[in-house]
Structure 1
Amino acid sequence: LTTTASLALGQYGPNGQYGPDGSNGDDSSAFNGAISTIQFCGDDANWTSMSSIAHGVLASLAFVIFFPMGSILVRMASFSGLWLVHGLFQIFAFVVYIAAFALGVWMTQQAPSQVNLIGRYHPIIGIVLFVVLFFQPVLGLIHHFQFKKYGRRTFWSYGHLWLGRLVIPLGMINGGLGLLLATETGYGRPTTGQIAAYGVVAGIMSLLWLAATIIGERRR
């Protein structure tokens, strides 16, 4: 049994609409020889589809639910050891993302040679997030001890705060790009309802996270 997947290289390739060098999806280059039909055996297609779904679910949990919740917690709650609970919660979220990242790497390696997945926006942003997140626990720990010592925010504090404020929305946006990529490749293809649900939940969590950030700053 063979499953045929139509991969729109004109949209997601280096010169496509969703690629790093894209301008729009309507120019002539997007239509001239842009569609490449690749054959996969049924078992490989099923594994790739399942991996794509698992990758999307885990990454969404990390950036849409866990990371924002950990940030909201440290802004709105007040109890002894809050910094430690915040840190452990965010590390848990990072572990979830590491699992999603590993699946993403595997899918990239399994992609046909004709498809340059690593040149698409979604995996590039995913790699950047993965690398940057390794610095957050270190910056957070330094921030905590420096704050205890001086009673005010230092350079390390602002580094930790603003890195987190950039990573969370970027991760949410990248989730949307991942849904576009899954729709185009056909593996783990989301339904319209699932895409809408992601947008609604991400939007609500973004507003809650932003509100908590503003309230937290005003309380200082």
Structure 2
Amino acid sequence: MVALFPSGSILMRILHGRLALWMHALTQLMGLVILLACVGLGIHLVQEVQASGLDLFKEPSVNYHPIIGLVVAACLLLQPPLGLIHHAKFKKLQRRQIWSHLHMFNGRLAITLGIVNGALGLWIAHASSKVKTAYVAAAAAMWAIWMLTALWSEWRRWRTAAQAEQRRKSAGAVSF
């Protein structure tokens, strides 16, 4: 998960045209299916623990992990409809709308929360130091690559718009 969702976002930024859209959508949908399976497993584990007399949602030292997991799942379930609305509006108007920004912000928030929640899950599970270190290193590297790709893409988008504006102004200038 720490690599799948960011990779889907990166593909949207580095590929072009329909290929970018389809690779992004397929990667993110595959991630969503896996996430929902993980949520199902998490709910099952919480019920198993409750059967033993302990309620994880009432245990302050561990209750944040399942709660954050459910919030991440809810945010990511919103992504397909937001993405479809964004795509339809963008295709029609050729510019970003509120749906575009909601889709990007919600995705960035959910993925970042999910990465943090993965580390919290390892801490709760008392994973070895090597496992936690490997996860944090891989997650930090993936998050950094993902964010740098997003920043590069936005800069490239801004630069292209600025160049088009400059050409428009130059074409409209009259020289004597």
Give TM class, smaller chain: 0.7 to 0.9
What residue identity is the alignment partner of 2:87? H
The alignment partner of 2:16 has SS state of coil
Aligned: 1:117 with 2:56 = yes
Give 1:114 deviation, angstroms: 3.8
Structure 2 residues not aligned, in runs of 5+: 158-176
Residue 4 of structure 1: aligned partner: none
Aligned match of 1:102: 40
Offset of residue 77 of structure 1: 1.7
Following superposition, the deviation at residue 205 of structure 1 comes to 0.2
Aligned residues: 152
Distance 1:83 1:148 in 2: 12
Question: Structure 2 CA distance, aligned partners of 1:85 and 1:175?
Answer: 24
Report what 2:171 is aligned to.
none
User: Greater CA radius of gyration, 1 or 2?
Assistant: 2
Report the Cα distance in structure 2 between the residues aligned to 1:81 and 1:200, rounded to whole angstroms.
30
Give 3-state SS (helix, strand or coil) of 1:165's partner: helix
1:88 deviation in Å? 1.4
1:140 offset after TM fit, Å?
0.3
* AA matched with 1:126: G
For 1:196-211, what aligned pairs fall within 5 Å after superposition? 196-211=133-148
Which ranges in structure 1 are unaligned for 5 or more consecutive residues? 1-61, 184-189
Q: Which has the larger helix fraction?
A: 2
Distance 1:79 1:147, change over 3 A: closer
Q: Offset at 1:117?
A: 1.1
Does structure 1 conserve the Cα–Cα contact (< 8 Å) formed by 2:83 and 2:100? yes
What is the distance in 2 between the residues matched to 1:103 and 1:143? Answer: 32
**Distance in 2, Cα, partners of 1:159 & 1:133:** 12
Deviations 1:29-65 (A, max 9, x none): xxxxxxxxxxxxxxxxxxxxxxxxxxxxxxxxx2x11
Deviations 1:77-128 (A, max 9, x none): 2243321221111000010111111110000000045422124000000111
Letter in structure 1 aligned against 2:110: V
Q: How does 1:1-220 map to 2 (within 5 A)?
A: 62=1, 64-112=2-50, 114-119=53-58, 120-183=63-126, 190-220=127-157
Taking only the aligned residue pairs, the percentage that are identical comes to: 41
Q: Secondary structure at the match of 2:125?
A: helix
State TM-score, norm by structure 1.
0.67
